[in-house]
């Protein structure tokens, strides 16, 4: 029996990229998936792929910036499968630009998605985990939480917040809960450069196309943390292509 088999796992940002790869990987190991994201058609497509392979998954349209949506996601897990074992907080936006462009809506979106979104997930899942006396938070940050590179200041700050919140949560989580921070480097997804300023987007896409690793590499890292025995907490994983400086 793998340590993933039978676990009820909610994943945000599950309609594409790392979230999609994670959902497929975990469902392939026998996890029961609850998938959240804003685009229903993308969630439905992932659910269909999982069920076509004999797996178990349900989708829920979720905007992580809304507290009630995260509550609906965790409620869906409990109503459908009777419990929630893992919340993978992965939803994100890489709308990167230099400060001088004053793209304040993008700054707000990164804070809302990565910081408020993570807190909304903690707020929804923590009571469930406490009630069950077990549960696992897996929070997706970035290598930008470790090294700041211009013009990624706002993005890096919000991902650093993910790192800090994860460690604070870990210290308070006690013997029953686990908290894992996963920091990917360049990963080959549609989100790289999306919403970024044209110059930043071109540089990011060029680098992605030259050196990025497949999203399945991040999915495997997340699976490794989840499959550990209950008493073992993988605190942090940094996974990047070898070619990334
Ligand atoms: N690709 C990389 O090189 C890289 C490196 C380090 C870290 N990361 C991080 O990895 C995570 C996944 O990114 P990705 O590369 O897989 O890009 P992606 O394919 O664009 O995935 C991001 C997902 O998040 C969802 N999302 C965005 N805002 C949301 C919101 N407010 N509520 C709910 N869902 C939302 C998007 O779906 P909807 O638009 O349908 O909601 C999308 O499916 C992000 O946190 C990103 O910062 C990526």
- CATH number for the domain spanning 25: value is 3.40.50.720
In a domain, 3, yes or no: no
- According to the model, what pLDDT value does residue 207 have? 95
What is the 175 CA–ligand 1 centroid distance (Å)?
31
- According to the model, what pLDDT value does residue 57 have? 98
CA 152 to chain centre: 19
Number of domain units in the chain: 1
In a domain, 241, yes or no: no
- Cα–Cα distances in angstroms (integers) from residue 104 to residues 15, 42, 43, 120, 189, in the given order: 26, 28, 29, 22, 24
Q: Is 224 assigned a catalytic role?
A: no
* Domain region containing 73: 8-230
| Atom 20 of ligand 1: nearest residue by CA position | 191
In a domain, 183, yes or no: yes
Peptide bond preceding 84 in cis form (omega within 30 of 0):
no
What is the 36 CA–ligand 1 centroid distance (Å)?
11
Here the tokens at position 57 are: 């998954």
- According to the model, what pLDDT value does residue 1 have? 40
**Catalytic-role residue among 81, 107, 129, 155:** 155
Tens-digit pLDDT string for the chain (245 aa)? 459 999 999 999 999 999 999 999 999 999 999 999 999 999 999 999 999 999 999 999 999 999 999 999 999 999 999 999 999 999 999 999 999 999 999 999 999 999 999 999 999 999 999 999 999 999 999 999 999 999 999 999 999 999 999 999 999 999 999 999 999 999 999 999 999 999 999 999 999 999 999 999 999 999 999 999 999 999 999 999 999 99
- According to the model, what pLDDT value does residue 2 have? 55
| Atom 36 of ligand 1: nearest residue by CA position | 13
With a threshold of 0.95, does the pTM exceed it? Answer: yes
Cβ 3 under 6 angstroms from ligand 1: no
In a domain, 237, yes or no: no
- According to the model, what pLDDT value does residue 86 have? 98
- According to the model, what pLDDT value does residue 131 have? 98
* Positive or negative: CA dihedral 118, 120, 123, 126: negative
């Amino acid at each position: 029996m793998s340590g993933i088999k039978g676990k009820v796992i909610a994943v945000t940002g599950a309609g594409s990229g790392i979230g999609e790869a994670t959902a497929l990987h975990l469902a392939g190991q026998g996890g029961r998936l609850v998938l959240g994201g804003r685009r229903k058609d993308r969630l439905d497509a992932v659910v269909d792929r999982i069920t076509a392979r004999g797996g178990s998954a349900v989708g829920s349209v979720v905007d992580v910036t809304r507290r009630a949506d995260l509550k609906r996601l965790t409620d869906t897990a409990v109503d459908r499968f009777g419990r929630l074992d893992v919340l993978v907080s992965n939803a994100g936006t890489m709308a990167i630009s230099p400060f001088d462009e004053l793209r304040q809506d993008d700054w707000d979106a990164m804070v809302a998605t990565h910081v408020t979104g993570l807190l909304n997930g903690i707020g929804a899942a923590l009571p469930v985990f406490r009630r069950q006396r077990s549960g696992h938070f897996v929070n997706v940050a970035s290598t930008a939480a470790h090294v700041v590179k211009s013009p990624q200041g706002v993005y890096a700050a919000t991902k650093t917040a993910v790192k800090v919140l994860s460690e604070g949560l870990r210290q308070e989580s006690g013997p029953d809960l686990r908290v894992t921070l996963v920091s990917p480097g360049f990963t080959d997804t549609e989100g790289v450069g999306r919403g970024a300023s044209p110059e930043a987007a071109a540089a990011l896409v060029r680098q992605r196309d030259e050196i990025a690793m497949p999203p399945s590499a991040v999915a495997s890292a997340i699976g490794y943390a989840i499959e550990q025995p209950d008493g073992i907490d993988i605190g942090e994983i940094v996974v990047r292509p070898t070619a990334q400086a």
